[in-house]
Chains A and B, each alone.
Chain A
């Protein structure tokens, strides 16, 4: 398994290089360049040219990419216009908030999704199966921001059980209780869709595995139903579920942008939203790079996990 993980780690290197190239090229694709943004529409052509020269924007693409990369390697992502701080500093301060939200959402979605999926798979085509599967499908077809708004309306504004925003810093002020209260609605919103997908995948994977010969072998040896399910069926049903969780973890990152905006959650998503509105090119660039790297990291972790649950993988 180790050799597989190491090999997989090596494979991320070209992916990461590709990601940097894409984020770099982004500035070329976006209309206008940094000089336009900095100087605004009223500036003269001459002052633009001067600034371009000062920023190195008049050099060849290759040179610009090399400069970009050397800055990247020293941790310099440029200066954000909206936040008037280095991009890296802003991202770093917000990363924890987004990670908190995303990680708790994926944990919630996986735990509840797998539990629901298992619960229905044990009695397929029963009342509980139809009921829960319909509920899950309903969740699945709801856009996250819409769900967020509904949750705000019901729990925040009508029932007034939970705060809907005002979460300035994850650790700021109110302590853990306050943090938890602020987290409930955004986490639910973010987790809902993934939860539905994970539940459905668990159900079908489990139904596949439960008919396999080794499950019959386990039963034929008089093992309890709980052991048959927990020790023999579930672990072998996990590979496709883990794949789906990995994909969901990626989607959560993009889902975070919407959710954070709806709940004014001070994470990368909200900052990205602000950056995009203001055409803060260095910040957008840095943000996308970070999100992409996280995506790569998540994928790597999923594959490593995959190798762990499936001892055969080293052979491939």
Chain B
């Protein structure tokens, strides 16, 4: 990437390659990566798992895990070569020159040290501060990153803090020695969307204030759009496209970039827009395809693509792209698109008599504390939830962690203790079905986020599916193989897969197997719990499309639980928003997104990042104050009142009931009809983009 002439780059990486394994069996994970970054500039690095984005940055810090080596290239910080620096001087660079924030702050913080001791450590041992002064400075830093009661927090251990707090602590640690460059590796990936918005804004504010350069690594284009000045897209260890954020998002030139943008449902586009999942799988880093690594998945490929590697070369303006056809795509008005358009939303609902209906469902778990492990309280995981799902429809259930959405899903299948309430399944009472052995599994099944944990590692896929079939008496000895093949076919897998073990499959394939297993019993209702959350963006679309296709073919009813609002909007007919164990709002999906009536829904929507820098920068976020309530000690009245900007006295004492506002829109808020709330909420949370 070329810098503005005359300015010396802060960080200059040239031809960097990283490999694992000995010389005999080397696997390159980063190949010939070059980029540079000016002081105070923000670069977003986007790629799927295995694209080499994290490895590149760890190589810059010389913190590659054991077995990883830099095989070629140079890394200069302020003109000083880092790769050959003696270890002692490199230590001097870390923390002061370049600081690092990793994802999952829980594992990135030392569990056995207090927060204060960890922040103060380099101040004492590297900067030579007195301990008292270092602790005072640590408290300032905590305050700076927005942790209330900073002084008192110094003596907390990481596990005593919430996820958002931990990430703030990690950021405080990173800026403690005033680095010139901050590398943030997926800093918000494990966080809820409202917390994610807070953390991203914090990082952006800090970088301006401290004039730090920033490298923001993410798999999510939306996260990068709001912060980065420039963006680099990585695929199979190489940068395939890099340009200013506006250029990359506005007019992607590389087919992979545009495919990535088209693969993910977006809140700023009509829900009916088709998803174009990228066909195939990301390449195995050990054996990348020859030529352009993307060619097996690229619809534009020409003969040359499979033979010759396209170099990263100028493609108009400040853009570099590695594609033989970059020139054409750069000139043509439309961005390169990839993938076949998939069918959009589920067709007309098969009118059915039965449905899933939940009334006043409550699930409570005991809390045990003290010497005798006495029950000292209850967690009201789900507190008086009512829902209904017409047959053949999808109800999307969204909410942040601790909102009770997963527990609700589990209770619907009898997997969580129901303390109160009534569930009706296609006209039959749940209690009655539950006592009838073997009936419940045939009506309802669940698919989990982590199919690896729910598949037996010792069984082949075929054996696992066959077992389900024979346990439920659905196939006789002779028919099992044929049924297994039919099942695999229905989830888009070839029959050879039956002979494999779960660890031999990719994440997307495992998720397909998990779906096949749920389908084996031919249930009518499936609870999908975060089924695409662990998958790469290019694979997510494939699974979402598969679920929608199966629904159309078989008239399945889904409860689709997810924290990802854009995916939920794409797949659902209706959406329910949960907060603190209660349903706050339910509405048909378009209504919910265009005209939310609950203050929480509005705040939630406004926090979802959109992959368009123009929108992101102009957006006004209504961040809810503070963090979601503790389900063991829920606030009285409206669960949201501590964070709600419209709260009045009544909200603190009286719990609002879910009431019908018009035929299909239910809201639990005392003030939804007030002018103040109505006007504030008409300012749409999600601006709609200019392009179709």
Q: Which residues of A contact B63 (CB under 8 A)?
A: 216, 219-220
Given contacts A3-B370, A216-B102, A311-B157, contact A223 B112 (CB under 8 A): no
> Which of B110, B126, B370, B372 meets A214, CB within 8 Å?
B110
Q: Which residues of A contact B125 (CB under 8 A)?
A: 223-224, 227
> Which of A6, A217, A224, A309 meets B91, CB within 8 Å?
A224
- Say which one of B93-101, B261-269, B674-682 lies at the interface with A: B93-101
Is the CB of B304 closer than 8 A to any CB of chain A?
A: no
**Residue of B at shortest CB range from A221?**
B95
User: How far, in whole Å, are A231 and B122 apart by their CA atoms in the complex?
Assistant: 12
Would you give the shortest CB distance from A232 to chain B, in whole angstroms? 5
Would you give the shortest CB distance from A233 to chain B, in whole angstroms? 9
Beta-carbon contact of B107 and A222 below 8 Å: no
Question: 1/0 per residue A206-224: CB within 8 Å of B?
Answer: 0000011110111111111
Would you give the shortest CB distance from A261 to chain B, in whole angstroms? 42
Beta-carbon contact of A214 and B371 below 8 Å: no
**Residue of B at shortest CB range from A235?**
B112
Is the CB of B177 closer than 8 A to any CB of chain A?
A: yes
Beta-carbon contact of A221 and B99 below 8 Å: yes
Is the CB of A17 closer than 8 A to any CB of chain B?
A: no
Given contacts A3-B371, A217-B170, contact A223 B108 (CB under 8 A): no
> Which of B65, B66, B173, B370 meets A217, CB within 8 Å?
B173
Is the CB of B25 closer than 8 A to any CB of chain A?
A: no
> Which of B95, B108, B109, B157 meets A222, CB within 8 Å?
B95
**Residue of A at shortest CB range from B121?**
A223
Beta-carbon contact of B371 and A312 below 8 Å: no
Beta-carbon contact of B111 and A311 below 8 Å: yes
Q: Which residues of A contact B122 (CB under 8 A)?
A: 221-223
> Which of A3, A6, A211, A312 meets B157, CB within 8 Å?
A312
Would you give the shortest CB distance from A212 to chain B, in whole angstroms? 6
Beta-carbon contact of A7 and B371 below 8 Å: yes
Q: Which residues of B contact A221 (CB under 8 A)?
A: 94-95, 99, 121-122, 126, 173-174, 176-177
Given contacts A236-B110, A312-B157, contact A222 B104 (CB under 8 A): no
User: How far, in whole Å, are A124 and B66 apart by their CA atoms in the complex?
Assistant: 10
**Residue of A at shortest CB range from B157?**
A311
Q: Which residues of B contact A310 (CB under 8 A)?
A: 111-112
Q: Which residues of A contact B102 (CB under 8 A)?
A: 213, 216-217
Q: Which residues of A contact B100 (CB under 8 A)?
A: 216-217, 220
Question: 1/0 per residue B622-652: CB within 8 Å of A?
Answer: 0000000000000000000000000000000
User: How far, in whole Å, are A311 and B370 apart by their CA atoms in the complex?
Assistant: 16
Beta-carbon contact of A214 and B121 below 8 Å: no
Prevailing SS type, chain A contact patch: helix
Would you give the shortest CB distance from A227 to chain B, in whole angstroms? 6
Is the CB of A315 closer than 8 A to any CB of chain B?
A: yes
> Which of A212, A213, A220, A312 meets B94, CB within 8 Å?
A220
Residues from 73 to 112 in B contacting A, C-beta threshold 8 Å: 87, 91-96, 99-100, 102, 104, 107-112
Is the CB of B668 closer than 8 A to any CB of chain A?
A: no
Given contacts A3-B370, A220-B99, A311-B157, contact A213 B104 (CB under 8 A): yes
Beta-carbon contact of B107 and A214 below 8 Å: yes
**Residue of A at shortest CB range from B91?**
A222
Is the CB of A10 closer than 8 A to any CB of chain B?
A: yes
Q: Which residues of A contact B107 (CB under 8 A)?
A: 212-214
User: How far, in whole Å, are A311 and B92 apart by their CA atoms in the complex?
Assistant: 31
Residue picked from B87, B92, B113, most chain A C-beta under 10 Å? B113
Residues from 111 to 139 in B contacting A, C-beta threshold 8 Å: 111-113, 121-122, 125-126
Residues from 223 to 242 in A contacting B, C-beta threshold 8 Å: 223-225, 227, 231-232, 235-236
Is the CB of B691 closer than 8 A to any CB of chain A?
A: no
> Which of B94, B113, B370 meets A219, CB within 8 Å?
B94
**Residue of B at shortest CB range from A8?**
B371
Is the CB of B373 closer than 8 A to any CB of chain A?
A: yes
**Residue of B at shortest CB range from A9?**
B371
Would you give the shortest CB distance from A34 to chain B, in whole angstroms? 41
Beta-carbon contact of A211 and B111 below 8 Å: no
User: How far, in whole Å, are A309 and B112 apart by their CA atoms in the complex?
Assistant: 7
**Residue of B at shortest CB range from A125?**
B66
Q: Which residues of B contact A212 (CB under 8 A)?
A: 107
Q: Which residues of A contact B176 (CB under 8 A)?
A: 221
Q: Which residues of A contact B373 (CB under 8 A)?
A: 7
**Residue of B at shortest CB range from A214?**
B110
Q: Which residues of A contact B94 (CB under 8 A)?
A: 219-222
**Residue of B at shortest CB range from A10?**
B371
Q: Which residues of B contact A312 (CB under 8 A)?
A: 111, 157, 159
User: How far, in whole Å, are A217 and B126 apart by their CA atoms in the complex?
Assistant: 15
User: How far, in whole Å, are A231 and B121 apart by their CA atoms in the complex?
Assistant: 10
**Residue of A at shortest CB range from B90?**
A222
Given contacts A219-B63, A221-B121, contact A232 B91 (CB under 8 A): no
Q: Which residues of B contact A216 (CB under 8 A)?
A: 63, 100, 102, 108
Would you give the shortest CB distance from A126 to chain B, in whole angstroms? 12
Beta-carbon contact of A211 and B109 below 8 Å: no
Q: Which residues of A contact B66 (CB under 8 A)?
A: 124, 211
Would you give the shortest CB distance from B377 to chain A, in whole angstroms? 15
**Residue of B at shortest CB range from A236?**
B112
Is the CB of B537 closer than 8 A to any CB of chain A?
A: no
User: How far, in whole Å, are A219 and B112 apart by their CA atoms in the complex?
Assistant: 17
Given contacts A7-B373, A222-B177, contact A217 B112 (CB under 8 A): no
Q: Which residues of B contact A220 (CB under 8 A)?
A: 61, 63, 94-95, 99-100
> Which of B104, B110, B112, B174 meets A218, CB within 8 Å?
B110
**Residue of A at shortest CB range from B92?**
A222
> Which of A7, A311, A315 meets B112, CB within 8 Å?
A311
Q: Which residues of A contact B93 (CB under 8 A)?
A: 222
Beta-carbon contact of B371 and A222 below 8 Å: no
Would you give the shortest CB distance from A228 to chain B, in whole angstroms? 10
> Which of B110, B173, B370 meets A232, CB within 8 Å?
B110
Would you give the shortest CB distance from B87 to chain A, in whole angstroms? 8
User: How far, in whole Å, are A227 and B121 apart by their CA atoms in the complex?
Assistant: 10
Would you give the shortest CB distance from B153 to chain A, in whole angstroms? 15
User: How far, in whole Å, are A274 and B94 apart by their CA atoms in the complex?
Assistant: 65
Q: Which residues of A contact B177 (CB under 8 A)?
A: 221-222
Residue picked from B61, B95, B99, B108, most chain A C-beta under 10 Å? B108
CB pairs A–B below 8 angstroms (29 shown): A7-B371, A10-B371, A124-B66, A211-B66, A213-B108, A214-B111, A216-B100, A216-B102, A216-B108, A217-B102, A217-B108, A217-B109, A217-B110, A217-B170, A218-B121, A219-B94, A220-B61, A220-B95, A221-B122, A221-B176, A223-B122, A224-B125, A225-B87, A232-B113, A236-B111, A310-B112, A311-B111, A311-B112, A311-B157
Binding site for B on A (CB under 8 A): 3, 6-7, 10, 124, 211-214, 216-225, 227, 231-232, 235-236, 309-312, 315
Q: A216-B108, A309-B112, A311-B112 are in contact. List 15 more A-B contacts (CB 8 A).
A: A3-B371, A211-B66, A214-B107, A214-B108, A214-B109, A216-B102, A221-B173, A221-B176, A222-B177, A223-B125, A224-B91, A224-B125, A235-B112, A312-B111, A312-B159
Shortest Cβ-Cβ A-B pairs, 8 listed = A222-B95, A220-B100, A222-B94, A221-B95, A213-B107, A213-B108, A214-B110, A222-B91
